[in-house]
């Protein structure tokens, strides 16, 4: 069952955690892709075990619903322990036989219909679990890749800060700048090194969370190229929520409620019990056959209240389905717009804005070394570059997260007619 879920998860997406030093070694290995993470999560996730157990339970319930009532063995002794000729067991009459309940009104087929509806609901619940798992894995992967990017950026900024400190020392030693410039540059270096330490710890946590999702430690770097890639995005097109998992679940609830109404109606028809027995008369040692029919008399409970309850629950499920249709359509429209906006932001932040910030910082570093710009100009350019890099990483992470949540909302329901 887990292999099936793993295959579905891979198609839909097309141990201890090391410390800082071992993390660096792990990052030197081959890239660990999102598809690999999805496949491993599908093979080890306990949530899929829950969904699998739910399907097996529904299958067993279907079998139970199709079973007929069991017959009963009946024994009865009369005319014993009385007075006169009925003293002791001299006139005893012993009856032994079978009673067979006969269901009327289509109760068995109604029970099967309810079990079938619940089985389809369990299959949809399994698909929902699979889609939720895919979303959780993608979000954990995005968080881990973003942490890797932030660590690389922090290390680069730390290197630039160290270079700025060396340049400041040269200027101070040459008498071209005040000693305060060296102290200011040293503060920037210290803060940059602290940022690297924080980024390392954040990366360890993010990779650890992803490792727990997939059930094993992660070896190698994550797929940064995938993270940096922003797909082209044109005008949004309306997506019909009718084929989504949310609507399929709502429709399955309505189908179950319909079956419950049918079952409640069938319960209004009384069942009969047929009996066939043999009676032994102790007084004459003779044997006689006894036949009987038992029919309930629905005086106090004729089942109309149960039918009314089932109809009300069916109306509730139908109304809830219309609410879900409205909310799903709104959520999909909002998700489409969010993906488009996130794509625009990511392309801008990681494209022209980042190039401009890098060029500005490069010119400021050259100008500072040559004495054409002051240190404050350099620090301002470096701070702008750092903020732009952070904004680009945040924008890319937001884009992938928005895309994953949009895909979760629009996940198509499984075709249960093939079963």
**pLDDT value at residue 16:** 30
**pLDDT value at residue 142:** 96
Convert the pLDDT of each residue in 346-398 to its tens digit: 888 888 777 888 787 788 778 777 777 777 777 778 788 888 888 889 999 99
Looking up residue 97, the CATH number of its domain turns out to be 2.20.200
What number of other Cβ atoms are within 10 A of residue 21's Cβ? Answer: 8
What number of other Cβ atoms are within 10 A of residue 64's Cβ? Answer: 11
Whether residues 107 and 162 fall in one domain: yes
Whether residues 281 and 346 fall in one domain: no
Whether residues 309 and 288 fall in one domain: no
Whether residues 14 and 61 fall in one domain: yes
Looking up residue 133, the CATH number of its domain turns out to be 1.20.1600.10
Average pLDDT of the chain to the nearest whole number = 84
Whether residues 11 and 63 fall in one domain: yes
Number of domains within the chain: 2
Whether residues 112 and 231 fall in one domain: yes
Whether residues 175 and 293 fall in one domain: no
**pLDDT value at residue 408:** 93
Whether residues 258 and 297 fall in one domain: no
Mode of pairing for the β-strands spanning 93-102 and 72-78: antiparallel
Which residues in the chain show pLDDT less than 70?
1-29, 82-86, 89-90, 232-238, 418-419
> Looking at 247, 278, 302, which one is the last position of a domain?
302
Whether residues 215 and 123 fall in one domain: yes
Residue 298 lies in domain: 70-102+269-302
Whether residues 74 and 177 fall in one domain: no
Which residues, 6 or more positions from 10, have their beta carbon under 8 angstroms from its beta carbon?
Answer: 35, 38, 39, 42
pTM confidence score = 0.80
Whether residues 145 and 202 fall in one domain: yes
Please give the Cα distance from 341 to 3 (Å, whole number).
37
Nearest CA to 214 out of 411, 16, 40, 405 is that of: 40
**pLDDT value at residue 356:** 82
Whether residues 74 and 221 fall in one domain: no
């Amino acid at each position: 069952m887990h292999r099936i879920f793993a295959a579905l998860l891979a198609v839909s997406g097309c141990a201890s955690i090391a410390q800082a030093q071992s993390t660096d070694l792990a990052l030197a290995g081959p890239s660990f892709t999102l598809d690999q993470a999805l496949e491993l999560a599908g093979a080890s996730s306990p949530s899929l075990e829950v969904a699998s157990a739910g399907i097996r339970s529904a299958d067993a319930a279907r079998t139970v619903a199709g079973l007929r009532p069991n017959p009963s063995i009946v024994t009865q002794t009369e005319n014993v322990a009385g007075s006169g000729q009925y003293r002791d067991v001299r006139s005893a009459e012993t009856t032994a036989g079978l009673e067979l309940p006969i269901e009327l009104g289509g109760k068995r087929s109604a029970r099967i219909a309810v079990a079938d509806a619940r089985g389809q609901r369990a299959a949809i619940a399994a698909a929902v679990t699979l889609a939720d798992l895919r979303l959780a894995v993608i979000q954990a992967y995005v968080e881990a890749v973003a942490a890797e990017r932030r660590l690389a950026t922090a290390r680069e900024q730390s290197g630039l800060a160290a270079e700025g400190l060396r340049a400041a020392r040269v200027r101070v030693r040459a008498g071209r700048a005040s000693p305060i410039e060296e102290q200011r540059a040293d503060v920037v270096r210290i803060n940059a090194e602290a940022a690297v330490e924080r980024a390392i710890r954040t990366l360890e946590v993010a990779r650890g969370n992803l490792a727990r999702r997939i059930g094993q430690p992660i070896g190698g770097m994550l797929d940064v190229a995938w993270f940096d890639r922003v797909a082209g995005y044109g005008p949004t097109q309306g997506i019909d929520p009718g084929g989504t998992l949310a609507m399929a679940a709502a429709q399955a609830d309505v189908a179950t409620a319909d079956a419950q109404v049918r079952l409640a109606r069938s319960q209004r028809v009384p069942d009969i019990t047929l009996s066939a027995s043999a009676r032994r008369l102790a007084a004459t040692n003779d044997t006689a056959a006894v036949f009987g029919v038992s029919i309930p008399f629905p005086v106090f409970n004729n089942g109309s209240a149960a039918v009314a309850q089932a109809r009300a629950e069916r109306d509730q499920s139908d109304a809830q389905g219309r609410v879900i249709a409205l909310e799903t359509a709104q959520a999909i429209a909002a998700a489409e717009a969010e993906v488009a906006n996130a794509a625009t932001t990511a392309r801008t932040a990681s494209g022209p804005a980042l190039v401009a910030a890098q060029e500005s910082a490069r010119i400021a570093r050259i100008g500072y070394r040559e004495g054409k710009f002051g240190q404050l100009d350099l620090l301002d350019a470096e701070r702008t570059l750092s903020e732009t890099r952070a904004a680009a990483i945040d924008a890319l992470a937001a884009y992938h997260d928005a895309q994953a949540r949009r895909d979760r909302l629009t996940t198509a329901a499984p075709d249960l007619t093939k079963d």
